[in-house]
Amino acid sequence: MKKQQILQWLQAFATEIEQNKDYLTQLDAAIGDADHGMNMSRGFQKATASLASVADKDIGTILKTVSMTLISSVGGASGPLYGTFFLRASTVITGKHELTEEDMLEMLQAGLDGVLQRGKAQLGDKTMIDVLSPAVTAFSQAVGEGKGMHEAMQLAVAKAEQSMKNTIPMIAKKGRASYLGERSVGNQDPGATSSYLMLKCLLETL
Amino acid sequence: MKKQQILQWLQAFATEIEQNKDYLTQLDAAIGDADHGMNMSRGFQKATASLASVADKDIGTILKTVSMTLISSVGGASGPLYGTFFLRASTVITGKHELTEEDMLEMLQAGLDGVLQRGKAQLGDKTMIDVLSPAVTAFSQAVGEGKGMHEAMQLAVAKAEQSMKNTIPMIAKKGRASYLGERSVGNQDPGATSSYLMLKCLLETL
Amino acid sequence: MKKLINAPVDFVRESLEGMAVAHPDLIKVHHDPTFIYRTDAPKHGKVAIVSGGGSGHEPMHGGFVGIGMLDAACPGEVFTSPTPDQMLEAAKKVDGGAGILYIVKNYSGDIMNFEMATELARSEGIRVLNILIDDDVAVKDSLYTQGRRGVGTTVLAEKICGAATEQGYDLQRVASLCRRVNLNGRSMGIALTSCTVPAKGTPTFALGDREVEMGIGIHGEPGRERMSIKSADEIAQMLAMSIIEDISYSRTVREWDEDKGEWVDVELMNHAFEKGDKVLAFVNSMGGTPLSELYIIYRQLVEVCEKHSLQIVRNLIGPYMTSLDMQGCSITLLKLDDEMIQLWDAPVKTPSLRWGI
Amino acid sequence: MKKLINAPVDFVRESLEGMAVAHPDLIKVHHDPTFIYRTDAPKHGKVAIVSGGGSGHEPMHGGFVGIGMLDAACPGEVFTSPTPDQMLEAAKKVDGGAGILYIVKNYSGDIMNFEMATELARSEGIRVLNILIDDDVAVKDSLYTQGRRGVGTTVLAEKICGAATEQGYDLQRVASLCRRVNLNGRSMGIALTSCTVPAKGTPTFALGDREVEMGIGIHGEPGRERMSIKSADEIAQMLAMSIIEDISYSRTVREWDEDKGEWVDVELMNHAFEKGDKVLAFVNSMGGTPLSELYIIYRQLVEVCEKHSLQIVRNLIGPYMTSLDMQGCSITLLKLDDEMIQLWDAPVKTPSLRWGI
Ligand SMILES: Nc1ncnc2c1ncn2[C@@H]1O[C@H](COP(=O)(O)OP(=O)(O)O)[C@@H](O)[C@H]1O
Ligand SMILES: Nc1ncnc2c1ncn2[C@@H]1O[C@H](COP(=O)(O)OP(=O)(O)O)[C@@H](O)[C@H]1O
Ligand SMILES: [Mg+2]
Ligand SMILES: [Mg+2]
Ligand SMILES: [Mg+2]
Ligand SMILES: [Mg+2]
């Protein structure tokens, strides 16, 4: 994956968020505080605006810039989580202008680990982890089986979509939805949804 | 008119108010503060409850008791106005146990004068004066023409009903409705309405 | 209707009972007739200030009873003037021998009941004067009508005159001060939603999802004009401008004349604001509008005042004179002089207004 | 949606600008990043208290910045935790050399952002400790979950700890005091209506005309249970009893360990209330509920506390921690000891809480 595609991906994700802003907020209204769409929109509008100044830098610098913008402009839970995702992702690919399948895997895995460490959520807690973790596993497996970038990402995104829907019956254990206990059942997690959209845009840019 | 009928009248008016409580309040909501029905109800419930203790006294004492109860329990504009009406009415018939047409005229006239003095409203200001004043005039005229109590009161109540409706197109100049200026046009005055009901009950008790 | 109440008929009494147990150090509540008074009343030799009006405007007036403000307050039923016996008993309870000032808002009910109370108190040998507050510029006419409603300036007059009584002003001097405060104050309000009177159970008026009532009072009475909602800045400008552009206003009010021993008609005149005036800016919530929005209104009010060379030297921002759960706000501008500033700054300790002590 | 706002995106900034011009003697507002701080900061040698959280809870926290309470507050977007750079810059601005206490409400966003800020501040050589407030008994589980939300006790902790810093408590001592306040406080809230977030423009949840949400937080998040409306007395009883009957509650929280120089898990335990406990009773409006109704709730709360031999020795009644325009209320009971009482009574002078000065 070329640097240009990384920039396209971030741009596409920002656009996707704008299109799904109300939808994400609606999901958050049901089991949270009705701001996930706004939070993501605020962050990625600023993040993409900051890309121009680093477009000629390496992918690591680009992702780090995104990370810093998210951390200082989003707030809430998604700010530090997505911020940490991009921060950790950036550190393992410093200096690169193109990513192999292995780079991509390392990047996604580092991002996921960062989110796990920052948020302390586990699989099944009804958070973005429930999309990111199975998707990274699927990608890892596909790459292990020698599949190419596109096919591996296709499998990862299919898994992500399925996993996003799997959050519906879960009882939330982390984040705001956890205050609802049993009442969180029956609603799809907003953060899981935005994480799926992020991966979907990544696939579409490949 | 016998003392017993005076007691019946007061009782009937209290019942009439209960039945029209929401209606009076609704009229007051349109151009006032939505409490005229409640105010009248509170006052006349208490007033009729206090009648037992003075039922064997003269009409003057009975009306004075009603007056005192109204003054100390209604508040608002209607408290002092109806309170004053009954207070002044009571003073001109002290000691009586039965009222002639002339007594009745004197009583109503004294009540009206009291309301005029207390409230400083004039004919056409869209208040209870616009019912009381024409009704008393009609009664006076009928009595002057030698009509009996019942017929004279019938004429007075017919006039009162017409006058009540005549308040609809008026611009309020006194009371809360006056703050509305032109916007008070098109609504029947709540106090005029309760005054009509008072006279109607008086007629029905004769 | 959804409210945190029990039976609507118990609303006023239970709220007062809650208030009494909440602030026993400051106030006591008397029932039958109902009034709230300073725990340490009567204060010997001090003029006592008594106000009152319908309930539903909390914290006004009961929340302003205490040191440096009111000596007693008489709450009526919701939006209904209290009765003369409440006012009389309150006056008797707090009379420290130096007389009583009744601060009365200009509503026909309040006026008539306070006038009757004044007559009763006078006949019992208590010195009482009454001063009317009529500051609502939403009401335009004055000739032959009820004139302007008493709204936001009431709170400011109660604070300023309360401080004056603590500083030893005599009755006549407090009364003229109160009259002066009233003549220096003007208010204008807007409603975004109607209030719901507990006993009625439904909103007093119906407003569409994009409609507001401009020029409302504090009793759910309709305003001067219904219009579609505007931005906070536009609303603040409209409210402020109707105050600032209000021309001199004269009317006749009834006050008790102690020398003559009777009611006399007094001709009063508000003078329009002038460039350079020092003002107190009061942004008041009607009950359901949160503080965050009041600050947005205040922000624009500062700009409007600057533009018109009015110098805001004091402010008050919050829910001080409400209309039950109504959403909306009012702006009051009060022209201040040095005496009034010093009295405004003086210590006050009441359930709902407190500083310096 | 009808609100006194301009463009929803400007809501927080404009409200803060209004606040800044309203109280220049007490606070200043810094933009980019946004924080509110004491005009006289830094106070040399004094521990500084910094709190923060999403906006929409006004006056919390910004309205509590001033003498005897917070040194700085970091407001996020509506209902959205502020960001680490706000917290870091606020800490730098108010650091008087004696260290900073971050008071953090237990929400995943707030925790993560404050943890990042703590790490950043520490790396810049500023001594920072963080104490979590998690007092909402509506949230039952603690094992493996986020645990309880931070609500009403936050306001009380800010007042008490702020007073302690004025009296010279060092950082560790203020931190333990804050932890103790949190362990002594419990809250429960109810919503009669949903709030409307300006940027969303429609109510977060829909409640029927006779429905209420029991056990809500302060962000329009749904509560534990939807039920039909009850009388104020029943509601007060339900809120109070869920607090009084709450058994001892333990959980693990992360605090910074200064000796180890790293985050450590600390096991904390609230003990259930006991007969004879002295308590502070805090009845809070969610923003749209007027004072009159709060007093009706307080009246019943006093009876419930008497029945359970809890002695109310202090109270606070009003809109102090709101959820925009939501109608409803919360009750907080805080077990007091003599030290806490003295600190509660100590002078405070902020835009929204003031006494003794
Ligand atoms: N501890 C956590 N670990 C991982 N993800 C989390 C955690 N807490 C919350 N989330 C995710 O964040 C999403 C909510 O984000 P957002 O609404 O932007 O923040 P907030 O909850 O502060 O309003 C949730 O749907 C969930 O997926
Ligand atoms: N000055 C006045 N003179 C005569 N009647 C008046 C006066 N002011 C008000 N009223 C009457 O009182 C009625 C309102 O009574 P009510 O609603 O009980 O009192 P309030 O206006 O104090 O709420 C009006 O409809 C009007 O008829
Ligand atoms: Mg959210
Ligand atoms: Mg009325
Ligand atoms: Mg009334
Ligand atoms: Mg949020």
Residue by residue, what is the 3-state secondary structure of chain D?
CCCCCCCHHHHHHHHHHHHHHHCCCCEEEECCCCEEEECCCCCCCCCEEEEEEEECCCCCCHHHECECCECEEEEEEECCCCCHHHHHHHHHHHCCCCCEEEEEECCHHHHHHHHHHHHHHHHCCCCEEEEEECCECCCCCCCCCCCCCCCCHHHHHHHHHHHHHHCCCCHHHHHHHHHHHHHHEEEEEEECCCCECCCCCCECCCCCCCEEEECCCCCCCCCCEEEECCCHHHHHHHHHHHHHCCCCEEEEEEEEECCCCEEEEEEEEECCCCCCCEEEEEEEECECCCHHHHHHHHHHHHHHHHHCCCEEEEEEEECCCCCCCECEEEEEEEECCHHHHHHHHCCEECCCCEECC
D349, part of any domain: no
Of A24, A27, A31, A36, the one to substitute when testing ligand 1's pocket (max ligand atoms within 8 A of C-beta) is: A36
D343, part of any domain: no
pLDDT of residue C125: 94
- Compute the distance between CA of residue A115 and CA of residue B79 in angstroms, rounded to an integer: 70
**What is the average per-residue pLDDT within C164-185?**
98
Residues of A in contact with D76 (CB under 8 A): 75-76
> Is residue B192 within 6 Å of ligand 2 at its C-beta?
yes
- Compute the distance between CA of residue B149 and CA of residue A157 in angstroms, rounded to an integer: 95
pLDDT digits (tens, 9 = 90+) for C113-139: 999 999 999 999 999 999 999 999 998
Asked if residues C223 and C216 have their Cβ atoms less than 8 Å apart, the reply is yes
Chains C and D touch each other (3 or more Cβ pairs < 8 A): yes
Residues of C in contact with D63 (CB under 8 A): 291
Residues C304 and C199 in one domain: yes
Q: Which ligand has the shortest distance to the CA of D56?
A: 6
Residues C91 and C212 in one domain: no
Asked if residues D26 and D38 have their Cβ atoms less than 8 Å apart, the reply is yes
Which one of C184, C214, C236 terminates a domain? C184
pLDDT over 80 (residue C222): no
Q: How confident is the model at residue C145 (pLDDT cuts 50, 70, 90)?
A: confident
C2, part of any domain: no
**What is the average per-residue pLDDT within A98-121?**
96
Both tokens assigned to B58: 């003269």
Which one of C184, C202, C219 terminates a domain? C184
Asked if residues C190 and C212 have their Cβ atoms less than 8 Å apart, the reply is yes
> Is residue B21 within 6 Å of ligand 2 at its C-beta?
no
Residues D55 and D87 in one domain: yes
What are all long-range contacts of C116-122, with beta carbons under 8 Å and residues at least 24 apart? Answer: C116/B71, C116/B80, C116/C84, C117/C84, C117/C85, C117/C86, C117/C87, C117/C88, C117/C91, C118/C256, C120/C84, C120/C88, C121/C87, C121/C88, C121/C91, C121/C92, C122/C256
Exactly one of C31, C57, C61, C271 is catalytic; name it.
Answer: C57
pLDDT over 90 (residue D102): yes
Nearest to C219 among B33, B181, B183 (CB): B33
Nearest to D109 among A34, A75, A173 (CB): A75
User: Does C16 contact D295 at a Cβ distance shorter than 8 Å?
Assistant: yes
pLDDT of residue D143: 67
Direct distance between the N- and C-terminal alpha carbons of chain D, in angstroms, rounded to an integer: 40
**What is the average per-residue pLDDT within D269-293?**
97
pLDDT over 80 (residue C144): no
Q: How confident is the model at residue B198 (pLDDT cuts 50, 70, 90)?
A: very high
- Among C281, C278, C202, smallest CA distance to C240 is for C281
- Among C239, C323, C309, smallest CA distance to C53 is for C323
Residues D49 and D126 in one domain: yes
- When divided into structural domains, chain D yields a total of 2
User: Does B72 contact C33 at a Cβ distance shorter than 8 Å?
Assistant: yes
Exactly one of D30, D219, D271, D308 is catalytic; name it.
Answer: D219
**What is the average per-residue pLDDT within A150-175?**
97
Within 101-160 of C, beta carbons closer than 8 Å to B belong to: 107-109, 112-113, 116, 136, 138-141, 144-146, 149
Cα A179 to averaged position of ligand 4 atoms, centre (Å): 46
Residues C114 and C239 in one domain: no
CATH number of the domain to which D320 belongs: 3.30.1180.20
Q: How far is C299 from chain B (nearest CA, A)?
A: 29
- Compute the distance between CA of residue C121 and CA of residue C88 in angstroms, rounded to an integer: 6
Q: How confident is the model at residue A105 (pLDDT cuts 50, 70, 90)?
A: very high
Residues C179 and C193 in one domain: no
- Compute the distance between CA of residue D318 and CA of residue D64 in angstroms, rounded to an integer: 14
Both tokens assigned to D306: 């008497």
Nearest to C222 among B73, B78, B183 (CB): B183
Residues C283 and C222 in one domain: yes
**What is the average per-residue pLDDT within B1-6?**
95
Q: How confident is the model at residue C262 (pLDDT cuts 50, 70, 90)?
A: very high
A116 Cβ partners below 8 Å, 6+ apart? A129, A133
Q: Is A181 left (phi over 0), alpha (psi -120 to 50) or beta?
A: left
Q: How far is B151 from chain C (nearest CA, A)?
A: 35
Residues D215 and D110 in one domain: no
Chains D and B touch each other (3 or more Cβ pairs < 8 A): no
Nearest to D327 among C2, C22, C357 (CB): C2
3-state helix, strand, coil in chain C (%, to 5): 30, 30, 40
C344, part of any domain: no
Residues of C in contact with B75 (CB under 8 A): 54, 76-77, 80-83, 109, 113
User: Does C18 contact D296 at a Cβ distance shorter than 8 Å?
Assistant: yes
pLDDT digits (tens, 9 = 90+) for C224-261: 889 999 999 999 999 999 999 999 999 999 999 999 99
pLDDT over 80 (residue C149): yes
**What is the average per-residue pLDDT within C17-31?**
98
Token pair 């009401």: residue: C139
Residues D92 and D199 in one domain: no
Residues C117 and C41 in one domain: yes
pLDDT over 90 (residue D221): no
CATH number of the domain to which C165 belongs: 3.40.50.10440
Nearest to D112 among A29, A118, A181 (CB): A118
- Compute the distance between CA of residue D273 and CA of residue B66 in angstroms, rounded to an integer: 54
User: Does B75 contact C77 at a Cβ distance shorter than 8 Å?
Assistant: yes
**B117 CB within 8 Å of a chain C CB:** no
Count of H-run helices and E-run strands, chain A: 8, 0
Cα B174 to averaged position of ligand 3 atoms, centre (Å): 54
Which residue in C has a C-alpha nearest to residue B22's C-alpha?
A: C200
Q: Which atom of ligand 2 is nearest to the CA of B189?
A: 25
Averaged pLDDT of chain C: 96
C249, part of any domain: no
Radius of gyration of chain C (CA): 19
**What is the average per-residue pLDDT within B22-26?**
95
| Coil vs helix vs strand at C30 | strand
pLDDT over 80 (residue D144): no
D350, part of any domain: no
Ligand 4 ion: nearby residues, β-carbon < 5 Å: B 28, 32-33, 35-36
Ligand 6 ion: nearby residues, β-carbon < 5 Å: A 33, 35, 76; D 79-80
Cα D340 to averaged position of ligand 3 atoms, centre (Å): 35
Residues C151 and C234 in one domain: no
pLDDT of residue C224: 82
Within 56-85 of B, beta carbons closer than 8 Å to C belong to: 71-81
pLDDT of residue C30: 98
User: Does B35 contact C113 at a Cβ distance shorter than 8 Å?
Assistant: no
- Among C183, C192, C203, C292, smallest CA distance to C239 is for C192
D258, part of any domain: no
Exactly one of C30, C31, C219, C271 is catalytic; name it.
Answer: C219
**A38 CB within 8 Å of a chain D CB:** yes
Radius of gyration of chain A (CA): 16
Residues C122 and C19 in one domain: yes
pLDDT digits (tens, 9 = 90+) for C36-92: 999 999 999 999 999 999 999 999 999 999 999 999 999 999 999 999 999 999 999
Q: Which atom of ligand 1 is nearest to the CA of D219?
A: 23
Which residue in C has a C-alpha nearest to residue D287's C-alpha?
A: C290
Averaged pLDDT of chain D: 96
- Among D88, D64, D101, smallest CA distance to D182 is for D101
**C357 CB within 8 Å of a chain B CB:** no
Asked if residues B28 and B34 have their Cβ atoms less than 8 Å apart, the reply is yes
C302, part of any domain: yes
Domain span at residue D104 reads: 11-184
pLDDT of residue D220: 86
Which residue in C has a C-alpha nearest to residue D207's C-alpha?
A: C2
Nearest to B39 among C80, C141, C222 (CB): C80
pLDDT of residue B180: 85
pLDDT digits (tens, 9 = 90+) for D318-336: 999 999 999 999 999 999 9
Q: Whose CA is nearest to atom 5 of ligand 1?
A: A127
**What is the average per-residue pLDDT within D76-83?**
95
pLDDT of residue D162: 98
Among positive and negative, which fits the CA dihedral A114, A117, A119, A121? positive
User: Does B179 contact C146 at a Cβ distance shorter than 8 Å?
Assistant: yes
pLDDT digits (tens, 9 = 90+) for D1-22: 999 999 999 999 999 999 999 9
- Compute the distance between CA of residue D64 and CA of residue D179 in angstroms, rounded to an integer: 19
pLDDT of residue C143: 67
- Among C237, A39, C152, C223, smallest CA distance to D4 is for C237
Which one of D155, D184, D213 terminates a domain? D184
Averaged pLDDT of chain A: 96
Token pair 């569409």: residue: C208
Is D57 catalytic? The answer is yes
Q: Which atom of ligand 1 is nearest to the CA of A130?
A: 27
> Is residue B172 within 6 Å of ligand 2 at its C-beta?
no
Chains touching C by CB (3 or more pairs below 8 Å)? B, D
pLDDT over 70 (residue D344): yes
Of A176, A180, A188, A195, the one to substitute when testing ligand 1's pocket (max ligand atoms within 8 A of C-beta) is: A176
pTM above 0.80, yes or no: yes
User: Does C302 contact D21 at a Cβ distance shorter than 8 Å?
Assistant: yes
The DSSP bridge partners found for residue D101 are D49, D129
Both tokens assigned to A50: 């900051």
A 10 A CB-CB count for D17 gives 19
Cα C135 to averaged position of ligand 4 atoms, centre (Å): 20
Q: How far is C337 from chain B (nearest CA, A)?
A: 30
